Amino acid sequence: MNELAQKAGRFLLKKRLSLSICESCTGGMLGSIITSISGSSKYFKGGIIAYSNPVKKRIAGVKNNTLRKFGAVSEQTARQMAQGVRRITKSNIGISITGIAGPGGGTKKKPVGTVYIAITDNKTILVFRFQFRGGREQIRKKACNKTLKLLINFIKGA
């Protein structure tokens, strides 16, 4: 994953873009991967680990109605988390990850491994839904890996 983080960092630097993240199910793993790269402070503004709904609401700016109607693991919540962290940090790009890493917490509609990833800038917001397989750590790593790939593709298109 470090290769992906390095590649994303090079693209961010080349395009002079800043990044911030809001993580739920990955619990800070993505931020750790990004900051393991020397020089990441030139493009990485910071992150929020919004693991609980109160933090998603109070800090990340997710609306109470969104959580009530769609749940913490939803396209709508991922969208508001990414927009919120981007707004708070004044970064060019905001990313969010919310999902069910397991082993518990899954439902028929949202089984363990369901993950939503959102990426936004000042004009575009993309939200993706994935169904990852594996244990808790595998799901978290797969979510981070996929997020870095999506970020690289997003920057290439910017």
pLDDT one-digit tens code per residue, 3-30:
999 999 999 999 999 999 999 999 999 9
Tokens read off for 26: 């990955």
Answer whether 19's CB lies under 8 Å from 50's CB.
no
- In sequence order, the 6+-apart residues with CB closer than 8 A to the CB of 127 are 75, 78, 79, 116, 117, 118
Distance CA 131, CA 2 (A): 23
Smallest CA-to-CA distance from 22 within 75, 97, 74 is with: 97
The predicted-structure confidence for 43-68, as pLDDT tens digits, reads as follows: 999 999 999 999 999 999 999 999 99
Q: Which domains does the chain have, with CATH numbers?
A: 2-157 (3.90.950.20)
Q: What is the pLDDT of residue 75?
A: 98
Q: What is the pLDDT of residue 157?
A: 85
DSSP string, 29-45: HHHHHHHTSTTGGGTEE
